[in-house]
Amino acid sequence: PDEIATAISKAANMPREERIQRWRPMMDKIEAYTIHDWSADFVRELDKSRVTVPADHFRHLGFGWINETQMPSYRTAAELDAALKRAMDRHWILPPTGSSVS
């Protein structure tokens, strides 16, 4: 869009003194806002979020299925318990800290 091109052109041709005058307050805010501030804000906002699930879907929670077609349906509580036990008995092998995962 033309507005973006105009803004980029204006910024590219801005005098040095004006760039510094605009840049310093922005950098002061960025430097004062630590990762701890960011993470606290993130967790606070996350805490506000709620997911609502119909009552008949409670048996699917915690399995990681993302839509109804992936959710297996258990006819009895015993079938659900067996699936939970299998999931809990799995050994999860995670990559060491700092390694990259492809």
Q: What is the pLDDT of residue 9?
A: 94
4-24 pLDDT per residue, tens: 999 999 999 999 999 999 999
Identify the residue with better confidence: 60 or 72.
72
Cβ 72 vs Cβ 48: under 8 Å: no
How far is it, in rounded angstroms, from Cα 90 to Cα 87? 6
Q: What is the pLDDT of residue 92?
A: 64
Q: How close are the terminal C-alpha atoms of the chain, in Å? A: 37
How far is it, in rounded angstroms, from Cα 9 to Cα 32? 30
Helices (H), 2-69: 2-12, 16-32, 35-48
How far is it, in rounded angstroms, from Cα 90 to Cα 67? 23
Residues 90, 95, 101, 102, CA torsion sign: negative
